[in-house]
Amino acid sequence: MNGRTWKGVWSVVDPTRFELAAATSLFMGLCAAAAAGPLHVGWAALTVVGILAMDAAKNASGEIFDFDSGDDLFVAPEDRSPFSGGKRVLVDGVLSRGEVWGIAGVGYALAAICGAAIVLFREPRVLWLGVLGMALAFFYHAPPLKLSYRGFGELAVGLCYGPLISCGAYLVQRGEVPWRIVVAMLPTMIAMTSCVFVQEFPDFKADRQAGKRTLVVRLGRARAARLYAAMVATGTLAFLALPILGAPTGAMLGVLGFIPGIAAARRLLAEHEVVARMIDAQRWAILSFVLAAVGTGLGLLLL
């Protein structure tokens, strides 16, 4: 592959955003598992490869469906952001349609192979988590469900990158997932849902024109900014309530993630119409999830 093609592949994989989110969720799950016993490194590595492959595949297939809907084409230059607006590899002609489908096919196939190996030789019950995860990944953009076009995309991403990936990693290691561990990871679902919610603000006009009914499109930017602030407050309270709900006290360390979330909320409440002023809020929202998940994992492991 030439340099232009490699650049396109890198853009589709998108390690600065959702690969980072997937890796962080895996870290949280493996930390929780390590607190309960030694890790099986080989199975952990296979889990990581499978999840990251599925994540890259989801990005690739989503790029095609968003291009076909016109969504990526409708993003005006002044509304572009490093964290939203699609990967633009088809819009800018960096990759061909066949190449993007190739990335998606390889990613989904590699994820399926890793998952099948785990199901057959390690933990059969992870099959249902894997099937659900792959379905949510593909149908996040793809018809007939088109979750992101119908206002369910935020919840789907929060579910996947919050408890689904982390609990799956725990299950592979320990053969079970105690309810207290599930509860400990639920606040990160709020953190991830609010994170992807912020990434939708710059795409408001393009999404509305393409008929992509995200929550930001349904609410409008002003009300959506207030909802994000409410999400941050809810996530903070959820972390503080973990011991009451039976989760290990150490998981409360994840509350530190909502510090940058507060900064993001303040920026959006004040500057929700100018995309250039939203970029910091997008960055802080990503940091909020990463710190929430890392804090939860380290708290479970060390405290």
pTM given for the model: 0.94
- Per-residue pLDDT averaged across 234-244, rounded? 97
User: With pLDDT > 70 as the criterion, what percentage of the chain qualifies?
Assistant: 98
Q: What pairs with residue 81 in β-bridges?
A: 84
208 within 8 A of 299, measured Cβ to Cβ: no
- Per-residue pLDDT averaged across 152-172, rounded? 95
What mean pLDDT value characterizes the chain? Answer: 94
User: What is the C-alpha separation between 158 and 117, in angstroms, rounded?
Assistant: 26
- pLDDT for the residue numbered 16: 64
- pLDDT for the residue numbered 19: 77
User: What is the C-alpha separation between 234 and 155, in angstroms, rounded?
Assistant: 15
Q: What is the DSSP letter of 160?
A: I
- pLDDT for the residue numbered 8: 78
- The 10s digit of each residue's pLDDT in 118-129 is 999 999 999 999
- The dihedral over CA atoms of 144, 149, 150, 151, expressed in degrees to the nearest 10, equals 140
pLDDT band at 5 (very low <50, low <70, confident <90, very high): confident
Task: Kindly report the backbone phi and psi dihedral angles of residue 159, in degrees, each rounded to the nearest multiple of 5, phi listed first.
Answer: -65, -45
Which position has the token pair 């982390």?
166
Domains detected in the chain = 3-302 (1.10.357.140)
pLDDT band at 11 (very low <50, low <70, confident <90, very high): confident
